[in-house]
Chains A and B, each alone.
Chain A
Amino acid sequence: DTGVSQDPRHKITKRGQNVTFRCDPISEHNRLYWYRQTLGQGPEFLTYFQNEAQLEKSRLLSDRFSAERPKGSFSTLEIQRTEQGDSAMYLCASSLDPGNSPLHFGNGTRLTVT
C-alpha cells in the first residue's frame, strides 16, 4: 500500500492559464474522489468516480473544470482559464466498495492563481 499520490504538490499559475493535476489512487481502490479545500474550511466535494465512470459532479464545478479517470486507474483534474477564486488545495481520495469505506487522502495539490 503506497498510499494516494498527487502531483504536483504546488502549482503557481497566472490567471487565464490552464492547469492539470494528477492523482494516483491506492491500486485496489475502485472509488476516486476530488475535493477542494480553502483555508480554514472543510473539504468540499467536487466529483466522484467509480472505476472509470464519473458518477457525480458538484455544482461547484463550472464548465472550466473537467476530470477524467481513464481505465479506472489514475485520474486528472483540469482547470481551464484559471481565475483567482480557483486558488485552493485540491485533494484526491480513494476508497474501496462499499461506500462506507473510509477515504484515503493524498497530500493534495496547492494551486495559487496570480
Chain B
Amino acid sequence: AQTVTQSQPEMSVQEAETVTLSCTYDTSESDYYLFWYKQPPSRQMILVIRQEAYKQQNATENRFSVNFQKAAKSFSLKISDSQLGDAAMYFCAYTGTYKYIFGTGTRLKVLA
C-alpha cells in the first residue's frame, strides 16, 4: 500500500525568508503524481503545486517549487520570499490511479 510521510509537524519561517517542507512516500507503482495542498485556518484546501513522476524537471509555481527525488521517494516543497499569507497547514499527497493519499501535514508559521 502507498504511504505518505511528513515528518515535520510544525515549521516556522521569518517573513521574506525561504523554508523547505519535507515529504517522503512509498509506492511500488511506476506512474504516479504528487501534490502539495495548502489549508489555511478554517478555509478550504487548495492546490499549491503538482509534479508528474515521469518528469525529471522539478515543478515551479511562482514562489513555490519542489525538489523531486524519485529514487529517494522524496518530494519537498520550497517556499521562497515567505509571506504572512503563506501561514497554513501544508499537506503532501500522492495518487497513482484515482485514490489520493495525504500525509499528516506540516503547520507553517510565518513570523513578521
Contacts and interface: CB of A to CB of B under 8 A. Distances in A.
A, B assembled together = yes
A42 B102 contact: yes
A99 B96 CA distance: 8
A48 B96 CA distance: 14
Interface of B: 4, 6, 9, 32-33, 35, 37, 43-47, 50, 52, 91, 93, 95-105
Interface string A36-77: 000011111100101000011000000000000000000000
B20 to A, nearest CB: 19
A102 B33 CA distance: 9
B44 A107 contact: yes
B98 A105 contact: no
A48 B99 contact: yes
A31 interface: yes
Interface residues of A, number: 24
Given A102-B50, A105-B45, A106-B44, A42 B103 contact: yes
A33 B100 contact: yes
Contacts of A41: 104-105
A108 B44 CA distance: 7
Contacts of B37: 103
